[in-house]
Each structure stands twice: as structure tokens, then as C-alpha cells.
């Protein structure tokens, strides 16, 4: 299964993390590709759906691969993103967001693949 998402950092050098009440986890916004959709389109759409933010793509950050809760192999492509507009509103997938410095985010992220991706991102 292919998916895409975004890592968003603000001017205070904080990273956006999302909380999904269904799984009671903290992660980065991401989601599965729709039929015929490009990875970049998926990343922007999923980030908007989950966070309410309209973004633009920046640097490609890499991929993470893991087995999901249903036993399916999943590969997620991530881009650094910059917010252009929008605001967060609780939705059916995400009930909260937080802006955290890297050390705080590394403590709260629920999955090792998210923590590994974050450790590869420069602090500046």
C-alpha cells in the first residue's frame, strides 16, 4: 500500500504532530493514495484533510516502510511542507494537533518509523 504525507515546521522550529483518537496515537499527517493520484497530490490532500492547512511542497524527505495494524505492508513518502493558509478544526480522523520542538516530538510520537524520520531532519 502506498501513502504520502507531510512534515511541517513553523518559524519557531516546531514540528506539527497530529493525534488520532481512533488509535490514540501521535504521528505525522499522511494517508493512502486515491486511484490515479500522484504521490505529491496525495501528500497535499491528506495534510489538508487531516490538519485543515493548505500547504506547498518543499524538499522530499524520504520514505518509511512498515506493516500496518491490519498486517499490510505500507510505504509512506514524505515531503517537507510550508503552510500557505488554513486552520485546524477537529475532524473525523484527527482530534488534536500540537507544535513541538524536535526533542518533544521524539518523545510523543507513537511509532519508531516516525521518530527515525524526524531524527534525519536537520534542526536548522
What is the torsion angle, in degrees rounded to the nearest 10, for the CA atoms of residue 66, residue 68, residue 69 and residue 70? -130
3-state secondary structure of 22: coil
pTM assigned to the model: 0.94
- Give pLDDT, residue 7: 98
The pLDDT value given to residue 68:
87
Instruction: Give the pLDDT confidence score for residue 124 in this predicted structure.
Output: 58
What does the pLDDT look like over 88-118, one tens digit per residue?
999 999 999 999 999 999 999 999 999 999 9
| CA–CA dist 14, 17 (Å, integer) | 9
Report DSSP state, residue 59. Answer: E
Please tell me the class of the 2-119 domain: alpha beta
Domain positions in the chain are 2-119
30 DSSP β-pair partners: 5
Contacts of 70 (CB under 8 A, 6+ apart): none
pLDDT tens string 29-53: 999 999 999 999 999 999 999 999 9
Beta bridge partners of 17: 98
Please name every residue paired with 60 in a beta bridge, in sequence order, or none if there are none: 79
Amino acid at each position: 500500500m502506498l501513502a504520502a504525507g507531510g512534515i511541517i515546521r513553523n518559524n519557531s522550529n516546531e514540528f506539527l504532530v497530529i493525534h488520532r483518537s481512533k488509535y490514540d496515537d501521535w504521528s505525522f499527517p499522511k494517508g493512502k493514495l486515491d486511484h490515479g493520484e500522484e504521490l505529491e497530490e496525495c501528500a497535499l490532500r491528506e495534510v489538508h484533510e487531516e490538519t485543515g492547512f493548505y500547504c506547498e511542497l518543499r524538499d522530499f524527505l524520504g520514505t518509511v516502510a512498515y506493516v500496518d495494524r491490519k498486517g499490510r505492508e505500507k510505504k509512506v513518502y514524505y515531503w517537507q511542507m510550508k503552510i500557505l493558509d488554513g486552520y485546524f478544526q477537529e475532524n473525523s480522523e484527527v482530534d488534536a494537533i500540537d507544535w513541538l520542538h524536535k526533542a518533544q516530538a521524539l518523545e510523543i510520537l507513537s511509532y519508531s518509523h516516525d521518530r527515525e524520520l524526524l531524527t534525519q531532519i536537520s534542526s536548522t
